[in-house]
Amino acid sequence: KKQAAKKTIIKNKSAEIVPAVACTTKQMRQAILDRLHKSLATEESKANNKAWWNATCYAVNELLFEKLTDTQKSHSGHDTRAVNYLSLEFLMGRLLSNNLHNLELFNVAQDALKGLGKDLYEICEEEPDMALGNGGLGRLAACFIDSLATLGYPAIGYGIHYENGLFAQSFQDGRQIERPDTWREYGNPWEICRPESIQHVPLYGYVETVIDENGISHKVWHAGQKLKGVPWDVPIVGYGAKTVNILRLWESRADEAFDWDVFNAGGYVDAQVEKSKAETISKVLYPNDSTDEGKELRLIQQYFFCACSVKDILRRFRRAGNKWPILAEKVAIQLNDTHPTIAIPELMRILVDEERLDWNFAWSLCEKIFSYTNHTLLPEALEKWSVALFEKVLPRHLEIIYEINRRFLETVEQKWPGDNDIKAKLSIVEEGSQRMVRMANLCVVTSHKVNGVAAVHSELVKTDLFPEFDQLYPTKLINVTNGITPRRWLKACNPALAALYDETVGKDWVVNLDKLKDALPKATDTVFQKRFMEIKRDNKVELVNIIKDLTGIEVSADAIFDIQIKRLHEYKRQQLNLIHILTLYRRLLDNPDYDMVPRVFLFGAKAAPGYHMAKQIIYALNKVAEKVNSDKRIKGKLKVVFLPNYRVSLAEKMFPAADISEQISTAGLEASGTGNMKFALNGALTVGTMDGANIEMAEEIGAEHMFIFGLSVAEVKELKTAGYNPYDYYYNNPELKAVLDWLDTDFFTPGQPGALSDIKRSLLEYGDEYLCLADYESYCKAHDAIDTTYRNKALWAEKAIRNSAAMGKFNSDRSIEDYVENVWHLKKYPLA
């Protein structure tokens, strides 16, 4: 059925506008062959698909590098103000298809390869995902740099060049196995090494007070170790190629100059050991999503990339011949969560200790330069570092943080004289048996703007997380609702639907997603409905084949495809989905004639390797899947599939094939969600709670076209204050009691009773922190409504179209324009 998608594109080719970059099919074909011969030293008869992929990437680079150079010349010629997006994660996925689309050369490359007997879609499958992120936070950073380039804003993404991205997942007897992700083992055509921009980073050591020739004292940090930061640049092509920005990723190496002494002292072997220690810094991405690991290596990763980035930013500033008073006019630094917070004391250190600027002046620059995005309210995710660790690794930064805090507490004293409780609460340093540095407090104190990522989340940041900060700085806390790039999440991943929109609302929707609204009048048009749903069905058939390939499980494209794909976390409530599946299974076993539309429940999720309960939930889903899928009694009405190794490239095949999108977090806990937007854009209906961006989606779509269920944020608070008791629900709902008790038997794990009991315990004995039982009945009813609605084909089609066409607000271009207007204040400099 890939065929169908391809046909649509070719059919529309005559209407194609002139591509952003001039390149004919013949030229592309020649460029690919040239790269195969002259860069890869192979020939058509010997080349495998990997070689063709490499050759195609190199051919694309030839076009792209020219635009990159032009963009850089234009930016330095205009001495532009730029945003520097600091993030420990950039979840880029694959780049070939995306770059071709953004250069408007996808069809050209497709034809060129066809002429060479190759299929572009197959070639794209050769590319390993660039999985330098965990989930939503990292993918958001990737969507944002796409939008920044598309809109023509000067911007640099700064991050870490992890040797191993997020682990690869497989299952062994239903349990998650992690293996290292070796995405660049054999090289990566998209990155350019820039040894000319290497940076050196100190660590450990001690601080000395030095009196200068004018009798003024200042601090000098004598490092105990030094690292070398090697930058790798990945070009980021905006749609239409009017801007090519870069993502600059730092790789850690040993600083030979620093280790020279060890060498000279005859420590040849010791020096090699130092070298491999230095290289561990950028070895691996921490696989936690929404929990703080608190490890020394992680703090060093954070400091390493922040120090390299801040130095790089200042190097560019100086190179333009600028003087310190205009630093904040040229530089904006966005902190993607608290992970890069250490950039704040680092900039202060450079300005005060090295440039010898006055503290107040340096501080006034920092306040204007930094802004911070909060992505979660979960207490376990809020970063704190022990003072002792800080003292060891970054002694001078600790002193600077103390001084920032001392001055900050003076302003608190002015606002709330004598109130020590407030001081203790707001202080950057938490007192206690283990004194801790609270990174979020440092961010809020410093930044001129702090944003949450969806309206409800930003409200909760103000009322629950930082209420006193909101009183102290009434205009600081704002909202910027997340978005997704429609280039990757519609144009590239769902070519048939993209072509239908091209035809219906014009090709402009790619850069103006609000245009999709023009398709709304067609939501009730039977011909349009038919085309829309045929595309959905074709996409489902494609996924059917992928499921068969990956798992051997056979599912029918006539079933409702009900999908939950996201990190595995108890607050996201995959376990609620599980107990609803058990409910349906029981109903079917009780009554083989139970009337339900066949349903396929699909999952994709990685669990943090140290998160026991998350791994148990994966195990339970896999065990239930085994049983359900082989049970002849239920006549194929129910299937459960957990696809291994969920990642961006797999997501691109799942979103377009979904009928139902599961967005079922406990209200108040999912800051925004972005998968919710990808599903709806591709025509899935949401079953969801009033949480995160679901709330704003309901405003845009109309809640009546979604399956909203469960407690609201206010009701969750009420229930928790009143005292929540999960047993109340357990004893009052026989269906619920039966499925939970089922988990204690060996029905799903023959010979091993109790293998799934952990899940039951977490929902009863351990108190059901995420209120699964409270929302269970309402969730089941929402699913009954899904079944009823799906039987009405026309009504379902209408709703699917309404969902997709209403997604205009949730494109990341809008998010970026919000940041530009309220936080960054940038100007556009697109190439002519």
Nearest to 197 by CA among 49, 97, 308: 308
Q: Min. distance of Cβ 424 from ligand B1N in angstroms?
A: 25
- Distance CA(89)–CA(128), nearest Å, equals 17
Which residue sits closest to ligand B1N, CB atoms considered?
136
Say if residue 719 is exposed, middle or buried (CB neighbours under 10 Å; 0-12, 13-18, 19+): middle
Give the DSSP letter of residue 156.
E
Nearer to ligand B1N, 498 or 687 (CB): 687
- Distance CA(697)–CA(693), nearest Å, equals 6
Residue linked to tokens 């349903």: 599
Annotated active-site residue in 67, 637, 678, 705: 678
Nearer to ligand B1N, 163 or 337 (CB): 337
Nearer to ligand B1N, 383 or 502 (CB): 383
Strand, coil or helix: 617: helix
Nearer to ligand B1N, 95 or 381 (CB): 381
Is beta strand 560-565 parallel, antiparallel or unpaired with respect to 130-132?
Answer: unpaired
Backbone angles phi, psi at 219, to 5 degrees: -105, 140
Which helix (H) or strand (E) segment is 663 a member of?
strand 660-663
Nearer to ligand B1N, 81 or 567 (CB): 567
- Chain mean position to CA 749: 35
Q: Min. distance of Cβ 693 from ligand B1N in angstroms?
A: 7
Nearest to 118 by CA among 63, 37, 54, 60: 54
Question: Looking at this protein, which amino acid is placed at residue 582?
Answer: L
Q: Where are the beta strands (DSSP E) in 664-772?
A: 685-688, 707-708
Active-site residue, 375 included: yes
Q: Min. distance of Cβ 86 from ligand B1N in angstroms?
A: 14
Q: Min. distance of Cβ 295 from ligand B1N in angstroms?
A: 11
Whether residue 539 contacts residue 652, with contact meaning beta carbons closer than 8 Å, is answered with no
Active-site residue, 678 included: yes
Q: Min. distance of Cβ 662 from ligand B1N in angstroms?
A: 14
Nearer to ligand B1N, 376 or 686 (CB): 376
Whether residue 124 contacts residue 220, with contact meaning beta carbons closer than 8 Å, is answered with no
Nearer to ligand B1N, 452 or 726 (CB): 452
Q: Min. distance of Cβ 722 from ligand B1N in angstroms?
A: 27
Nearer to ligand B1N, 142 or 755 (CB): 142
- Distance CA(127)–CA(681), nearest Å, equals 25
Whether residue 289 contacts residue 377, with contact meaning beta carbons closer than 8 Å, is answered with no
Q: How many CB atoms lie within 10 A of CB 775?
A: 23
Nearer to ligand B1N, 110 or 336 (CB): 336
Tokens of 503: 């035809």
Active-site residue, 567 included: yes
- Distance CA(468)–CA(136), nearest Å, equals 28
Please give, one letter per residue, the 3-state secondary structure of 237-304: ECCCCCCEEEEEEEEEEECHHHHHHHHHCCCHHHHHHHHHHHHHCCCECCCCCCCCCCCHHHHHHHHH
Q: Min. distance of Cβ 556 from ligand B1N in angstroms?
A: 32
Tokens of 336: 């993607």
Annotated active-site residue in 6, 316, 349, 567: 567
Q: Min. distance of Cβ 396 from ligand B1N in angstroms?
A: 26
Q: Min. distance of Cβ 78 from ligand B1N in angstroms?
A: 31
Nearer to ligand B1N, 152 or 688 (CB): 688
- Distance CA(560)–CA(796), nearest Å, equals 11
Contact residues toward ligand B1N (CB under 6 A) are 134, 136-137, 140, 288-290, 337, 375-376, 381, 453, 482, 670-674, 692
Annotated active-site residue in 384, 572, 606, 814: 572
Q: How many CB atoms lie within 10 A of CB 433?
A: 4
Q: Min. distance of Cβ 643 from ligand B1N in angstroms?
A: 21
Whether residue 282 contacts residue 252, with contact meaning beta carbons closer than 8 Å, is answered with yes
Q: Min. distance of Cβ 337 from ligand B1N in angstroms?
A: 6
Tokens of 435: 């004194």
Q: What is the largest CA-CA distance in the chain?
A: 93
Say if residue 74 is exposed, middle or buried (CB neighbours under 10 Å; 0-12, 13-18, 19+): middle
Active-site residue, 674 included: yes
Nearer to ligand B1N, 287 or 395 (CB): 287
Q: Min. distance of Cβ 651 from ligand B1N in angstroms?
A: 14
Annotated active-site residue in 375, 397, 531, 647: 375
Please state whether 468 falls in left (phi above 0), alpha (psi between -120 and 50) or beta. Answer: alpha
Nearer to ligand B1N, 136 or 174 (CB): 136
Say if residue 417 is exposed, middle or buried (CB neighbours under 10 Å; 0-12, 13-18, 19+): exposed
Annotated active-site residue in 94, 316, 566, 760: 566
Annotated active-site residue in 674, 686, 689, 749: 674
Residue 654: partners with Cβ closer than 8 Å, 6 or more residues away: 543, 563, 565, 602, 604, 643
Cα-Cα-Cα-Cα dihedral of 772, 777, 782, 786, to 10°? 110
Which residues are catalytic, by number? 375, 566-567, 572, 674, 678
